[in-house]
Amino acid sequence: MPALDPETIDGAVADLEWTREGDRLVKVVTKKDFREALAYVNAVGEKAEEANHHPDIAIHWNRVTLTLWTHTEGGITQADVDMARVLDGVE
């Protein structure tokens, strides 16, 4: 699946809770505390496993940063946009 051009990406994520940072999609989620942040990460992990498409995840106490990009394509693909849409549904 080839990388999308920036204009296509921006249009595809306009209604999502993600931003394009170069060749990656990024979402930052803040939870009440570490326990809630960890529960969120686990829920994201379940969805990622179901789709076999995994974001990079960084957790810092109550803040979780998700990063999506397709390593093999060196950029954002439709699979990343689709995964972003799925992950927006995770609380």
Domain spans, the chain? 6-87
**What is the predicted pLDDT for the residue at 1?**
78
On whether the CB atoms of residues 78 and 69 are closer than 8 A, the answer is: no
Q: Which CATH architecture has domain 6-87?
A: 2-Layer Sandwich (3.30)
Question: CA angle, corner 91, sides to 79 and 57, nearest 5?
Answer: 55
List, for residues 26-44, the tens digit of each pLDDT value.
Answer: 999 999 999 999 999 999 9
Q: What is the pTM of this model?
A: 0.94
Q: Residue 67 and residue 51: Cα distance in Å, rounded?
A: 16
What percent of the chain shows pLDDT beyond 70?
A: 100
On whether the CB atoms of residues 53 and 73 are closer than 8 A, the answer is: no
